[in-house]
Amino acid sequence: MGRQVIQAVDVHAAGEPGRVLIGSAMKIKGATMADRLRYCVEHLDAFRTLVLQEPRGYPGLCAPIVVPPTEFDSDFGMIVMEQGGFRPMSGSNLICAVTAMIETGSVDVVEPVTHLRVDTAAGTVAVRAEVVDGRAVSVEFDNVPAFALALDHPLEVPGYGTVPVDVVFGGQFYVQTRCENLGLELRPRNAKDIIRAASAMTRAAQLSIPVSHPVIPDLGLISLPMIHGPAQTEGTHGRNAVVLPNGEVDLADPRTWTGTLDRSPCGTGTSARVAAKVARGELDVGDEFVHESMLGTTFTATVKERTTVGGLDAVVPSIRGRGWITGFHQLILESDDPFPVGYTIGDIWGRGVGLSEAVERPEGEGAQHDRPGDFPEGEIGIPLDSTARAHDALDASTTIPPFKEFS
């Protein structure tokens, strides 16, 4: 097998990077999106690490895979790759995918508003994108129903004592708590302390709080934590920090309590936050909730309607944000590349995050990894078809503003 090529469009949504894989021939098997998610988990983890890990990726990177729709009236489907695994739904990744699909002309575009339907393993979401001169300047989607399983559940977290947490579904299951419950202030300079606490809280919840989606049995894992606090910017209603795992967490070893901050306000996390606030009587249908990230970027949530899911009270939240294309890429895998599934190393990665975690070897002994033959070309779609349009080079007169440091 010679050179293999993966076509990608890099986008960020409110700061959170998403490497969108579009126009592919990837034959992800399954009649439903839940089937396809399960297939990815069981067969394509090496592809996930190839795209997300070094030397092609970095700890903060996610990647939505665009696939054909499973519903007759939908435009495309999406499966999300995160450092912690394959995920059923992600708001920031959906915004990245919609932005890429519109701005590359991969879907029919109507100005001023393009309406789309996107299938995910958590359900189908309706999307409204405001388009100006071919660019998606705003993306709003009606998320899958969000609901609270538990409010103020007492959770024992090593090093932090008994912490009252909410267990809420917003497209993924979240464990959420107020920052004061962990003795934290949500500022970028406190990132390491926030990550440490959130990672420990997530693992403690996974070990002690069973969850199950009432109508989608495959969704039965607390995937992510959210630590939320008061608004810090005029015009917003709250700030949050979601921590994406970048390694295996061992509660007996605080050195493993690592992760990466979500740069965006987090779409599914905001949906879960809204569901908890509705359950407490703090929001109602028609209310807006402007959620701020650690960068100061925002998503605006609206409580669209009340509903039920398997007998549980739920809400349909609408989330509005924006994405920006940052690059068009051809990721290359050569047949003799010593890292065909990527690698991690302990300076910026957590323990056990990847298939090819770097280890010390005797002098003169090279790295030993599975070869690219483990990727059946027709099965996972390498090489991928190219659909990205040629884009004009940057104007030579373009100026770059000063670097901004967040503290």
**DSSP 3-state percent helix, strand, coil across the chain (nearest 5):** 20, 35, 45
| CA–CA gap between residue 239 and residue 203 (Å, rounded) | 23
Distance of CA 59 to the CA centre of its chain: 12
Out of 90, 92, 318, 356, the active site residue is 90
Neighbours of 234 (CB within 10 A): 5
Q: List helix spans (H) across 10-71.
A: 33-43, 45-52
The pairing of strands 76-82 and 63-67 is antiparallel
Number of helices (H), then strands (E), in the chain: 6, 18
Cis check for the bond before 88: say yes or no (omega within 30 of 0): no
Dihedrals phi, psi of 378, to nearest 5 degrees: -75, -15
CA angle 76, 80, 83 (to 5 degrees): 165
Tokens 């030993």 locate to: 368
Please check whether residue 227 is in contact with residue 176, taking contact to mean a CB–CB distance below 8 angstroms: yes
Long-range contacts of 27-31 (CB under 8 A, 24+ apart): 27/378, 27/379, 27/380, 27/381, 28/65, 28/67, 28/79, 28/380, 31/70
**DSSP 3-state of 139:** strand
Strand ranges inside 158-198, DSSP E: 161-169, 173-178
Burial 140-170 (b: 16+ CB within 10 A, else e): bbbbbbbbbbbeebebebeebeebebbbbbb
Instruction: Give DSSP secondary structure letters for 22-37.
Output: -S-------SSHHHHH
Neighbours of 74 (CB within 10 A): 18
| CA–CA gap between residue 307 and residue 351 (Å, rounded) | 41
90 is catalytic: yes
Quick one: which of 269, 205, 190, 283 has its CA closest to 237? 283
Would you please indicate which residues are annotated as catalytic (active-site) residues? 90
